[in-house]
Amino acid sequence: MSTKPVLFNNTVLRDGHQSMAATRMATQQMLEPAPILDEMGFAGLETWGGATIDSCLRYLNENPFDRLRTLKNIAPKTPQLMLLRGQNIVQYASFPDDVVETFVRLTCENGQDILRIFDALNDVRNLQTAIKATKKYRKHARGELCYTISPVHTVENFVKMGVELEKMGCDSIGIKDMSGIIQPQIAYRMVKELKSKVGIPITLHTHDTAGLGAASYLAAIDAGVDCVEVSIVPFANGTSQPDTQRMLALLEGHPRCPKFDTEKLAQLRDYFEGVYKELSKFTSPANERVDSDILIYQVPGGMLSNFRTQLKEQGMADKFDQVVKEIPVVREALGWIPLVTPTSQIVGTQAMMNVKFGRWKMICQPAQDIALGKYGLTPGPIDPGVLAQVEKQTCKKRVTERPADLLEPGMEKYRKQCAEKGLPTDDETVVLFAMFPQQVEDLHKAKTKPAAAPAATPAAPATPAAATPARANGQGRHLFVTVNGKRHDVTVETLEG
């Protein structure tokens, strides 16, 4: 067993608040702790990507690139990480290669050091453009294995994917357990076998949703994992990553225990307790507790509680158990796809529709696209009956090409659209507009709007989290389904990645 201290990455400025407070921590709330985190000795600070870019634009009235530049300026020593959805970038749909490369270039130029690159289907073809671009701009490409449990997701297959990621040029490999379901014995075995097959570092990322996270970290550390990812209470544990202090206590006396200033960690906890209170409308006790249901249904943290709200809005509150039990049925029919953004939302929506209208009576557009191969190759086969129904309804055949190969270059098209709307046409604006057109337009209007006359008595500054009222359970995405002439509005929550 290695005696080299295990490295800790800290996620409190990204996945910590995404998992516990709907990604609502504002840049202003990060200014005080970021320089302290920078001096702590973490191997990396996760600060960007995932849902933060959407949240900045949609809810916080921030330019996400401004956040990136600001955090790099005030925390320049520690490498910073981001989460990138491969060909989906930080959205749901696939984007052309030129849009992906432009986004990666801007990300690297503005201070990002390590790009965690994953694909919801584990289709490595959807990773190649982002990996190649990251290497082109001389940054660290960390290829992610999206961990899930199914008949086709074996340790052997994950190790094969890890070997392929190394051949594609990745500088390290991340085991991305988005649902917090990796068991200690599996973590140990996967790390051990990856270590025997690849020569690049391995990081384990998990959530403590089912109460397994810290134990699986210990097992992985015994197996020789190079790095694990932790957060800071109260943006830790539960649906987030295990707490830093907690992991240090669990590792006390272990030959691989790293050293951290516990007084500074206590100061950071005190600070983040205050931020947590400021974000109280976006937090929930459901995120803080261990939920063993996740081991049965294998869905990302927070999805079950979100479902209760959504079903109530659909007049289906009494159908909760039926819908949750339908999730594995949909997942198997769609090729045992992992449940991570955007596939978790797609499977959840289709499960709801199966219960509401009858199994496979209506198939939502994204589920059709999964079946037709528009998201890439699924890990297992699509149910033949479902595929036949989709092909008949859409008059389309399943494609086997890499989805991005079917897309025309997009940057100049989006640049023209920006110009037509009176928006700036620089690459930064254009690439954000490609993913979030309405939000970028709204942000630009807000910045160019004439300032109001000053009030006679200055008002107290608003708390950043309260600036924009929004749903406590995360970002919403609407799907519309028409059945027998009646239109149904289905809201899908951003849950992970």
Domains, the chain: 7-285 (3.20.20.70), 295-405 (1.10.472.90)
Say what the pLDDT of residue 313 is. 80
* Sequence letter at residue 386: V
Beta bridge partners of 476: 493
Say what the pLDDT of residue 478 is. 41
pTM listed for this prediction: 0.88
Say what the pLDDT of residue 340 is. 85
Residues in the chain: 497
Say what the pLDDT of residue 300 is. 66
Under 8 Å between Cβ of 116 and 131: no
Say what the pLDDT of residue 234 is. 97
Mean pLDDT by 10 residues, the chain (497 residues): 90 95 96 98 97 95 98 98 97 95 98 97 97 98 96 97 98 96 97 98 96 98 98 96 98 98 97 97 87 78 62 85 90 94 88 95 95 96 97 95 96 98 98 97 85 43 33 39 44 46
Say what the pLDDT of residue 305 is. 55
**CA–CA separation, 131 and 236 (whole Å):** 29
Say what the pLDDT of residue 1 is. 62
Farthest-apart Cα atoms in the chain, separation: 70
212, 218, 223, 228 alpha-carbon torsion, rounded to 10°:
90
23, 48, 242, 87 alpha-carbon torsion, rounded to 10°:
100
